[in-house]
Amino acid sequence: MTTAPTTGTGVGGATGSVRTRGLVHIYRSEGHEVAALSGVDLDVPAGGMVGLLGPSGAGKSTLLNLLAGVFRPSAGKVFVGDLELSTAADRALDRMRAEHVSLMLQGAQRNLLPYLTPHDNVRFAQGAARRAGKDLPDPDEVLAEVGLADHAHDALGSLTPGHLQLAALAVAMAPRPAVLLADEPTSQLDHPARDRVLAALTDANRDLGTTVVLVTHDPDVAAFLPRTITIRDGRVGGEGRSGEEYAVVTPDGFLPLPLHVREHLQPGTLVRFHPVEEGPGEYLLLAGDEAAGATREPAGGRVGGWVGGRPSHSAGRPADGAVEHPSDHPPDYSARHRAGGADRG
């Protein structure tokens, strides 16, 4: 499996960008209010391809439905291009979903009319956009783009799970949307079928400039994507860029810890940032009971320090890509951090 492209041309111009600010969604369950999302800030440029990761119940599918205008947020704002979904009229949302944004639900059958062929499903999905005057390709062309030309007129019951998922993708791409939101598009597929679906998504992103935001639990799919965002406890808990994982500072100044670090930095652990002389914006995150009095020392040729009388270790990756945890010392952590988005490392 190769790596997906990092940019696209952005069909529809600004309509392909997706942004949220302070997004909150609360729902009621068994008489109690539950916060599915608790202040999510998200930026996806037009033509981007992003995966949403995180445990079940973290709020990923809720976020997709908010981006599609299916749900209204409890607080905060959602933008698709220049349209603010949180205040848009129902008619504007209907037109957006007909022409500019497609939501691909989890499970291929939920996206298809069972009594129609793939060809007729695509034609039906194009109806609203055609009535609005949008120039669209023939359904056979759309099916050929996802690799389903030979099954365009087959009954759905005769298709394999992989072909059904490709048919669902063709339906989602039928109105030539600027934004495609896909909930677990590769779940329950074998590896060859999964790779065919990913290839079709990549083609749509690269060749048509479609902005793609997809939810996945598959680590292989996550590794394939140029950018991933982890949703944890209703917040952005981390971000991945080309295989490197980063923590993300929240708007209120919090820095969520990666799960593997939480095992060692228990609640109440003292931490402090120590400026590094090598350049502005670089810090060591020193942790331990005596972090307030720790002094910096070199550690194995890497930026490190003495934490609580013991050598600290870098939570970032050394040059060889491995995380070092010497067996003769408990793993106190320090993290090398460069401020400023993807320049962190």
Looking at residue 296, what is its pLDDT?
A: 46
Q: Cα 5 to chain center, whole Å?
A: 15
Per-residue pLDDT of 275-299, as tens digits, reads: 877 666 777 777 765 455 544 443 3
The residue among 79, 325, 297 whose CA lies nearest residue 179 is 79
Mean pLDDT of 32-54: 90
How far lies 199's CA from each of 4, 175, 265, in Å?
8, 19, 40
Looking at residue 279, what is its pLDDT?
A: 63
- Is the pLDDT score of 150 beyond 60? yes
Looking at residue 280, what is its pLDDT?
A: 67
Mean pLDDT of 86-111: 93
Identify which has the larger pLDDT, 272 or 212.
Answer: 212
What backbone phi and psi angles, to 5 degrees, belong to 159? Answer: -90, 150
Note the pTM of the prediction, 2 decimals: 0.76
The DSSP call for residue 118 is H
Per-residue pLDDT of 207-255, as tens digits, reads: 999 999 999 998 899 989 999 999 888 888 888 887 778 878 777 777 7
The residue among 65, 103, 85 whose CA lies nearest residue 19 is 85
Looking at residue 289, what is its pLDDT?
A: 57
- Is the pLDDT score of 94 beyond 70? yes
Looking at residue 291, what is its pLDDT?
A: 54
Mean pLDDT of 91-119: 94
Identify which has the larger pLDDT, 133 or 6.
Answer: 133
Q: What angle do CA 193, 198, 202 make, to 5 degrees?
A: 150
- Is the pLDDT score of 137 beyond 60? yes
Looking at residue 264, what is its pLDDT?
A: 78
- Contacts of 253 by beta carbon, 8 Å cutoff, 6+ apart: none
Question: What sign does the dihedral 300-301-307-313 (CA atoms) show?
Answer: negative
d(CA 302, CA 168): 50
Confidence of residue 272 (pLDDT cuts 50, 70, 90): confident
N-terminal to C-terminal alpha carbon distance within the chain: 25
Mean pLDDT of the chain: 79
Looking at residue 314, what is its pLDDT?
A: 35
Collapsing DSSP states into helix, strand and coil, what is residue 276? coil
Looking at residue 342, what is its pLDDT?
A: 40
Mean pLDDT of 102-127: 96
Collapsing DSSP states into helix, strand and coil, what is residue 236? strand
Mean pLDDT of 160-173: 96
The proportion of the chain whose per-residue pLDDT surpasses 90, expressed as a percent, equals: 52
Looking at residue 311, what is its pLDDT?
A: 33
Domains and CATH numbers, the chain: 13-232 (3.40.50.300), 257-343 (no CATH)
Looking at residue 244, what is its pLDDT?
A: 77
Identify which has the larger pLDDT, 94 or 15.
Answer: 94
Looking at residue 240, what is its pLDDT?
A: 86
Per-residue pLDDT of 296-337, as tens digits, reads: 443 333 333 333 333 333 333 333 332 233 333 333 333 434
Residue 226 near residue 243 (C-beta atoms within 8 A): no
Looking at residue 327, what is its pLDDT?
A: 36
Per-residue pLDDT of 57-87, as tens digits, reads: 888 999 999 999 999 999 999 999 999 998 9
